[in-house]
Structure 1
Amino acid sequence: MDVVKRKSQSKLIKSKYQVAAILAALVITLALWSWKKAASVSVNRSDILVERVEQGDLEVITEGFGVLNSNRQQLLTTLTRATVKEIVLKPGANVTADSVIVRLDNPELTQEVENAKQELAQMRANLRQLKLNNQREILNETASLAEMTARYESAVLNREAEEKLIEKGIVSQLAYKESVLEEEQLAKRIDILKQRIAQLKLVHNESVNIQLEQLKQQQGQLGISQARLDSLEVKAGFSGVLQRLSVELGQSLEPGQEVALIGSVKDLIALIRVPQNQVQQVSVGQNAIINTRRDKISGTVTRIDPIVQDNTVEVEIALPENLPDSARPQLNVNASIIADTLQKVYYIKRPANVKPHSEITLYRVAPDSSAAHLHTLKLGQQAGRYIEIVSGAEPNDVFIISDLSNLKITASELIIKS
C-alpha cells in the first residue's frame, strides 16, 4: 500500500511562490530604473542656449528687410518709331533735367517736320495775299462811294437851282421833278453802297479769321511734329540718377516702348517686407529705424500694402530730406518698426519656434545650474528678438531657449554637464 508524502509537495509550492516574488521585485526595480532614466537626460552646457528673465521697459519692434527706393521716378518712353542712334549715358550716371541719355533716329519724322514748315509758310503767304485782296476791294468800293457822293452833291445843287428857276418859269415842271428824282435815287444808292462796304468788311474779317484758324492748326501740327522730332533726343527731365537703361545701340523701338528709368537720389523711401503674422502690430504713423549697415536713419510708416506676397507684406517708410551718403537707391536695408513700448514687464530673448500670445514649456535652470525642469510660461507680445512673459517666471530666472522639443515629451528633467 502506497503512502502519500504531503510534506514534500507543500515545500515545492512554497519555493515557487518565493521565485515569483523575487521575479516581481526584479521587474519593479527595472521599471523604476527605466522610468528614472527616461525622465532624466544629460546635456552639455556648451550645447544649449540659456537666457535670464529681465524686467523693464520693452519696445515692441517689428523687424523687416527691404530696399531703399526713389520717391520720385520717371519712366522715359518713345513717342514714335525710331532706331537707337547713340547711347550717351549708362546706368548709375548722375543726370540733370537737360541731360541727354539716348539719341534716336527717324528720317520720316524729319521729313514730316520739313513738310509741315513749308505748308505753314505757304499758309502765311496766302493770308498776306488775302489781306491785300480785301484791302483792294475796300478801296474800290470806297472810290465808288466817293464818286456816288459827288454825283449826289451835284444833283442837290442842280435841284436847288431849278427850284428857284421854276418859279420864274425858266425851268419846266418836268425837268424839276426829274432833278428831284435823281437826287433821291442817288441818296438811296449811297446808302446801299455804305451797307455794302460794311458787309464787305465783315466778310473780309471772317475770311481772315478762318485763315488764321487754319494757320493756328498748322502751327499746332508743326509743334507736335517738332516735339516728336525733339523727343528723339531722350532727356532725363529732372535731376537724379539713371537707374535703368532698357535699349541697345541699333535697336528698333515702337511707340511707347521703355527707354530708361530716372530716379531721385536724395528723395528716398524704404520699402520693407514684414512677416504677415507680425504686420498687425504695424500702423501708419509709427516710428522706424532703417539700418544701412553704415548708418541708422529715422523714418515714419506712411503706407501698408493690403496684399500679401510670399508670406510678407510691404510697408512704406518715409525718410527725412537730409540723408547720409550711405543711402542710395536699391540699397538693401534692415528696418525696425517701433509699434509700442511696454513698461515694467518681464521679458526674455525669444526662444526658438514660439509665437506671441501663447503658452509654452521651457526648462528652467536650477540655481546651482546643475539641472533644469520643465516649466510652463504664458507669453505676450513679441518685441524683435525678445518676447513678453505674462506669467510663470520671475526676474533673474534662467531658462533654456534652445529647441528641445524632442526631449520635452520624454524627459521632464535635464542634467546639465559642465
Structure 2
Amino acid sequence: MDIPRVPRAARRQWLLPLLGLVIVLLVTVSVGRLKAAAPTLDRSALWLGTVKRGPMLRHVKGNGRLVPEQTQWITTETAGRVERISGRPGMAVQPDTPLMELTNADLMLQALQAEREVASAEADLLQMSSRLRTQQLKERGALATLVAERIDAEHRAHAYTNGAGEVFTELDVHRMQARATELTSRVEMAKEQIDVVAQSLRDEIAAQRNQIGRRREVAAFRKQQVAAMHVRAGGSGVLQEIPVELGQWVVPGTVLAKVVQPERLKAEIRVSEVQAKDLIVGQHAEVDTRNGIVAGHVAHIATAAHQGTVTVEIALDGDLPKGARPDLNVEGTIELERLNDVLFVERPAGSETDGPSTIFRMTAGQAERIRVVLGRSSVSTIEVREGLREGDEVVLSDMARWDSVDRVNVR
C-alpha cells in the first residue's frame, strides 16, 4: 500500500517555530543565571585604610566644660525683698564683701519683740528674787522670835523647879516645861520652813534664768536673721552669678549668688554610655582647652546615664593655660589601655566591636566583601582578630548601600 509523503515545505512550517521557541527558552535560562554586573565606584569617593601591627592605644573622647572644684551657693535664710544689689558678676570678693540687702518689716518687728521679752523676763527675775528674799527674812525673823520664847520658857521652867516648894506650885512647873517643849518643836519646824523657802528661792530663780536663756537664744536668732539680710560673700573667690533682681521677693532657700574659685577648675565631659563601660577612676586623661592641653585623671564617674551619655569628672594635674575660665567648652580624651603587638585598623563605619562583621577588602581593582572578627575598639581604631593580614587595604567608608553585592569595581 502506498504511504503519502508530506512535502518538505510543510514540515518546515511547524519545525521553524518550534526551534525558535527552544532557542528563546535557552536564552532566557542563560540570562537568568548570569550574575548582575558589579557596581563601579571612584577610588576618590572611598575612605581607605591599611591594616597595621604594633601598639594600639585605646581611648575615648567626650565634650564638656570646665567647672570650679568648689562652688559656694549663697542662699537666703529668711523671706525678704531685694532692696539693694551691690555685687556684680566677675568681681573678686572676700568673706565680708557685701553683695546685697534684703528688707522684711515683720522680721525686724519680731526681733524687737524678742528683745522686749528678754527684758521683761529679766525684770521678773529681779522681782521674784526680791520677793523670795523678803519671805526668807520674815521666816528667819519668826525663827528668832521662837528661839527667844523657847529660851525664856526654859529659864522660867528652871526657875519654877528650883522654887517649886516656896512660890510656885507643881502645876506651874509642868506648864512651863510643856511650853518650852512646844517652842523647841516650833523652832525645828521654823528651821525646816527656812530651808524650804531657801530651796524654793534657788529653784524659782534657776527656772527663771533658764527662761531668760531661752528668750535670749530666740532674740539672738532673730538678730542673726536680721543681720543675714545684709548678704555677704562668705568666702574668697569670684562672684559668678546673681540670679535675683531688685524688688524681687525671695523665700528661705532661694539662691542669691554663686561664688567660685577660678584658679581651681576641673573638667566635666560627657562620654557615650557605650564607650563608658571600660572607664575607671584614676585613668590618665588629657583636656583640650583649645588654647592648650592639660594632663589630668578621672576623678569621678556618674552612676547613671543621661540622654545616652555618662558624665565624667576629670581632675586637672597640670597648670591651666591662659584664658581658662569656668564654663569654657573643652574636649577630653581618656586613656583606657595600651595594647602591645596587635593587628589593628582605622575604625570602619558601622563596625561592631567584640564580634564578627563584614568588610570590603581591596584586591586588584575591586573591593571584595569578606568576613572578619573585630575585637577591642578605640575612638578611631579597632583590633582585628581574624580575617585580615598586616598590609591589607580595606574600605572604611559606609557601604550600607551595597549590602546586596559582594564585589565593587574601583576605578
State whether TM-score is above 0.5. Answer: yes
Query: 1:84: how far off?
Result: 0.6
Instruction: Show the counterpart of 2:249.
Output: 252
What aligned pairs does 1:158-169 form with structure 2 within 5 A after superposition? 158-166=156-164, 169=166
Residue 222 of structure 1: how far off its partner (Å) = 0.9
Q: Could you say which residue in structure 2 is the equivalent of 1:154?
A: 152
Q: Which consecutive aligned stretches of 4+ in structure 1 deviate over 6 angstroms post-superposition? A: 7-14, 20-25
Cα distance per residue 1:300-359 (max 9 Å; x no partner): 2533332x43222x2332515775256543332222233333332111111222221243
Hey, what does 2:79 align to over in structure 1?
Answer: 81
Q: Across the two proteins, how many residue pairs are aligned to each other?
A: 405
Distance 1:233 1:5, change over 3 A: same
What SS does the corresponding residue of 1:260 show, helix, strand or coil?
Answer: strand
**Structure 2 match to 1:379:** 374
Q: 1:94 to 1:299 in 2, by over 3 A?
A: farther
Change (3 A) 1:173 1:405: same
| Cα 1:403–1:170 shift into 2, 3 Å | same
2:279 & 2:155 partners in 1: Cα distance?
Answer: 105
User: Are 1:316 and 2:322 counterparts?
Assistant: no
Match of 1:281 among 258, 278, 282: 278
Q: Which residue of 2 aligns with 1:330?
A: 327
Aligned to 1:39, the other structure's residue is in SS state coil
Letter in 2 for 1:317: E
1:195 maps to 192
Matched residue, 2:209: 212
Alpha-carbon separation, structure 2, partners of 1:169 and 1:322: 120
Q: Is residue 2:224 matched to residue 1:227?
A: yes
Residues 4 and 191 (structure 1), Cα distance of their counterparts in 2 relative to 1, 3 Å cut:
closer
1:43 match: 42
**CA distance 1:291–1:252, shift in 2 (3 Å):** same
Change (3 A) 1:135 1:189: same
Q: Which amino acid aligns with 2:58?
A: V
Report the CA distance between 1:221 and its aligned residue: 1.7
Give structure 2 stretches of 5+ with no counterpart: none
TM-fit CA distance, 1:113: 1.4
Task: Give 1:137 shift.
Answer: 2.0
How has the CA–CA distance of structure 1 residues 372 and 321 changed in structure 2, closer, same or farther, with 3 Å as cutoff?
closer
Unaligned runs of 5+ in 1: none
RMSD (Å), alpha carbons: 3.6
Change in CA separation of 1:399 and 1:126 when aligned onto 2, cut-off 3 Å: same
d(CA) in 2 for partners of 1:42 and 1:23?
Answer: 35
**Cα distance between partner residues in 2 of 1:211 and 1:142:** 24
CA distance in 2, matches of 1:214, 1:78: 29
**Does residue 175 of the first structure (1) align with residue 172 of the second (2)?**
yes
Aligned to 1:340: 337
Which of residues 257, 261, 265 is equivalent to 2:258? Answer: 261
Is the Cα contact below 8 Å between 1:287 and 1:301 reproduced in 2? no
Taking the TM superposition and a 5 Å limit, the aligned residue runs for 1:73-112 are 73-112=71-110
AA aligned to 2:387 is G
Do 2:237 and 2:262's aligned partners in 1 also have CA atoms closer than 8 Å?
Answer: yes
SS at match of 2:298: strand
**Which residue in 2 is equivalent to 1:394?**
389
Shift of 1:261: 3.3
Structure 2 equivalent of residue 359 of structure 1? 356
| C-alpha displacement of 1:371 | 5.0
Distance 1:401 1:153, change over 3 A: same
Shift of 1:24: 8.1
The amino acid that maps onto 1:39 is A
